[in-house]
Structure 1
Amino acid sequence: MAGKRGGTAAKERLSRDVIVASALALADAEGLDALTIRRLATDHGVTPMALYWHFKDKDLLLDGVVERVLEGVEIPSYPAGSQPEWHVRLLDCFAALLNALNEHREVADLVHRRFLGSTAGLDIAEFAFAALQEGGFGRTERAEIGVQALHNLVVLVTMEPGERALRDSEEEVARRIREKKVVLQSLAPERYPNIIDCAESLVDKPADEGRYRGLGLDILIEGIRARAARQLAEPAEKAS
């Protein structure tokens, strides 16, 4: 009887929210490979079965982790009567999503595969698609732009220049950076003058990560705006 009461207490203590929060914190600190049902159970001093009560397998746990990340996205809201143009709303939405992804880089790559599997993801997508519809995009292009934009935002936080030192020592990271610089700076200057000129920026982490991500956002939004402008001009060109 005591064992049964202990098992019930563990289930009550390990709510779904507690498990997801622990899983996300573990992935943030040690990487996605460290995130296992057994590791979480050990950290909480329970058997894996206490976690399976809430998540039947790791895949469902990862769904919960992605949902938690997307719940951290602050979907833009504006005062009545002062809603900005569609591309500004889209920029604000993407910026909010990018900030949430950047806070959880180790799990960001999971997001684009599970985005529409949670209410939070659906709400973000609906906001973005409404802005794109106002920009003149049909259903197919809204979907395609949404998918590509999400991929771009994930890449902005997972594939930025430079080396990351999550599991390697700072000395090891610095060594790899030096080696990459030497390789690029040793290229034939008559053939690759611009690569040599940019070598340091190509291998170092951005000095201002916020500016780096802002540049990525600007390129993304301006590309979408340019496409909208071209589509708007096409009927007039055909009519003339």
Structure 2
Amino acid sequence: MTRIAGDAGVVSNTLYWYFRDKDAVLIAVLEEVLADSMARYGEVIDTGMVDRLVWVVTELEHLSRLVTTVHARAKESDAVRDWHEQFHASTEGLFRAELAEIGVPNDELDAMTSIGVFVIEGMLMHPVDDARKRAVMETLFHSARGLAVAAH
């Protein structure tokens, strides 16, 4: 907290007026970054699912140090773990809704949502170029569409 305060140009006591501890600071940063990302997401909201998924991976790649910090702190901090779980629940819910909208059957939604999460997290751990990113997301989308078509 002393270093954070020094970098901010204030005394550490000032931080404690607003934040209980460094995890509260991290969560505040995460909320601000998430709000900025959601504002930028508006630029791609009207594109296809593949474009939006590629955008999400690229956005998370830009935040890779923050993502790594969250995963490390979530093992030690209930507050960060709770934030991380809530983030996953909301983003998975959005993806699940998109899958339902393209017609993925209800009994396949949970598995297909998990596959999407695993694909995105795998791409963050093993970065690939933009062409490969797009190819992977197109395959994911076509697999989901295939489930939808097979159900009807």
Give TM-score, length-normalised by structure 2: 0.64
Residue matched to 2:32: 68
Structure with larger RCO (C-alpha < 8 A, sep 6+): 2
Does 1:91 find its partner at 2:50?
yes
> Alpha carbon RMSD of aligned pairs, Å?
3.4
Residue 42 of structure 1 and its aligned partner are, at CA, apart by 2.2
Superposed, 1:24-103 pairs within 5 Å as: 37-71=1-35, 72-73=37-38, 74-75=41-42, 76-78=44-46, 88=48, 90-103=49-62
* Partner-residue secondary structure (3-state), 2:7: helix
> Where does structure 2 lack aligned partners over 5 or more consecutive residues?
72-80
Alpha-carbon contact 1:91-1:221 (below 8 Å) kept: yes
Q: How many residues get paired?
A: 137
Q: Report the equivalent of 1:157.
A: 124
Alpha-carbon distance in structure 1 between the residues aligned to 2:133 and 2:32: 22
Q: Counterparts in 2 of 1:111-130, with a 5 A limit?
A: 114=84, 116-117=86-87, 122=90, 125=92, 127-130=94-97
Say if 2:101 is the partner of 1:131. Answer: no
| Letter paired with 2:101 | E
Percent identical among aligned pairs is 21
**SS of aligned partner of 1:53:** helix
Report the structure, 1 or 2, having the larger helix content.
2
Query: Any stretches of 5+ residues in structure 1 without a counterpart?
Result: 1-36, 79-83, 161-205, 234-240
Rate the CA distance shift 1:149–1:46 in 2: closer, same or farther, 3 A.
same
TM-score (norm 1): 0.45
Partner secondary structure for residue 136 of structure 1: coil
